[in-house]
Structure 1
Amino acid sequence: MNKIAFTLFLLVLIPVSSMAQDWAQLNEFREANKRLEQEMNVENRIVFFGNSITIGWLHTQPSFFRDKPYINRGIGGQTTPQMLVRFRQDVIDLNPSVVLILAGTNDIAGNTGPMTLEETLANLKSMTELAQSNNIAVILCSVLPASDYPWKPGLRPDIKIPKLNAMIKEYADKQGAIYLDYYSAMVNGKQGLDPDLAEDGVHPTKKGYEIMAPLAEKAIEKALDKSP
């Protein structure tokens, strides 16, 4: 390998290696979490934990989070195994009263490799058990509808998402967690989202989040009533 080829190899390799070293993206909120250490006694802190749909909420409808003890810990593209790795840092260590977990669609999309619905549910179970063992009330959110993924078509989320949601609801009922059903309030006749709720069929618009907001607040109120 000549010098030029070797240099190009390194330029490609180094960023990939850096990403691999922080596979779960623990660094994303590390500094923000440190700043919260001075406010650890905030009453009824709520963590919104998820992927791009969660962090997109903060950017698209920031008023929902303003002047409330709501902490957004969504990272775009993440799957449940990545979220499980960062669950202690980005949820438990923040000492919340409640966590809302919204995840699973990227598992179905295969963002970190092929996964079964059972494997996704197992990760959600682990997060739930970790939270409950630390006296954090859990809200398990349904996966939002998607008739297909524009970036990876043909994976049939229109079939898999309803199946996963049924599994999540059954587990939540057995485990004493709250099941938050966004799906039923947003789904159209094609098991997806209308363009006014999600222009790309996956990520909610402001109107989409406006449907989600009162459902989330109702679930939070219920969770705080049950919180230890």
Structure 2
Amino acid sequence: MSVRQRVPIIQPGTFSFIAAADDLRSAFDGYNEQILFHHIDVDFDFIGESITQFWDLQVYFGSSSKYFINRGISGDITPIMLRRFPADVIQLKPKYVHILGGTNNTWRLDAVDPRERRTPEQINHEIISNITTMVQLSKSSGIMPIVGSNLPTGTDIPCFHFEPLIRCPNSSTGVRNELLAYSNRALKQMTDGERVIFVDYHAYLVGPDRITLRPELSDDSLHPNVLGYNIMAEVLHKTLSTKGISI
């Protein structure tokens, strides 16, 4: 049996600080090389954090003939998403990239070390700047971006310790949810200006106060359960169908 030469791929490597993205880097590099080696035409590439990683795309969209890949990483933040974007999106040349990120940036509201702490204004700027750059990179590479709004959070988030310098993240729930709602409005404005698709998940997951996650849609006040993902899939289907896109 003949053996073809391996293809060169973009590899962002690991980071010099604690980064959640390092946990899946070798796996993603392997998956990416297999896609490129076999010249697979990718239809949809989903990049994001845990909400994306835990979304079983095959369950919701696998009945179509489209090819989906999931590049979500639990604990990821938008600056790291941006640094891995050339490897996990651009080089794979998907027709569409679904970008969803920013919630994990907000944990810096509760950083123990004041030097690591960020204001809502700083966090909002980081989210919008990073996602805008991802959108522009996609467009310049002939990839259509689909930007999702960040989800609201609930009032009973457990103490996720993916970074030792962060306090229990439910200590700033009110501020966080106001920040996420504000950032979503800014993302909508940005996507309008860039003439790309915006998917407003937030509007369908909030309770009566319009900023807090409905408790029945999550088991930990943060990640959607099956009921939450059912709504997200329906919102994505409907939004894309208005643009003539089948998923």
Same fold, TM exceeding 0.5? yes
Cα distance per residue 1:163-198 (max 9 Å; x no partner): 000000000001111110000111112422223211
Shift of 1:28: 4.1
**Quick one: structure 1 residues 219 and 134, their matched pair in 2 at CA, closer, same or farther if it must change by over 3 Å?**
farther
Mapped pair 1:20 → 2:20 = no
**Larger helix share, 1 or 2:** 1
| Matched residues, number | 205
Structure 1 equivalent of residue 30 of structure 2: 31
Give me the whole-angstrom Cα distance separating, in 2, the residues matched to 1:219 and 1:92: 23
What one-letter code is carried by the residue in structure 1 that aligns with 2:216?
A: D
Cα deviation, residue 63, structure 1: 1.1
Structure 2, unmatched stretches of 5+, are: 1-13, 160-168
**8 Å CA contact 1:198, 1:205 repeated in 2:** yes
> Matched residues in 2 for 1:223 and 1:28: separation?
34
TM-score, normalised with respect to structure 2: 0.75
> What's the TM-score once normalised by structure 1's chain length?
0.81
The CA distance in 2 between the partners of 1:133 and 1:150, in whole Å, is 40
CA RMSD of the aligned region, Å? 2.4
Please list every run of 5 or more consecutive structure 1 residues that lacks an aligned counterpart in the other structure: 1-17
Could you tell me how far 1:153 is from its partner in structure 2?
Answer: 2.0
Q: Retained in 1: the 8 A contact 2:154–2:215? A: no
> In 2, are the aligned partners of 1:80 and 1:103 still within 8 Å (CA)?
yes
Shift in CA distance, 108/133, structure 1 to aligned 2, threshold 3 Å: same
Deviation per residue, 1:52-94 (Å, 9 max, x gap) = 0001112xx7411435411111000100001000001101111
Give, as a single letter, the amino acid of the residue that structure 1 aligns with 2:32: N
Match of 1:139 among 140, 146, 154: 146
Q: Which amino acid aligns with 2:229?
A: Y
| Counterpart-to-counterpart distance in 1, 2:189 and 2:107 | 23
Secondary structure in structure 2 of the residue aligned to 1:104: coil
- Change in Cα spacing, 1:66 to 1:22, as seen in structure 2 (3 Å) is farther
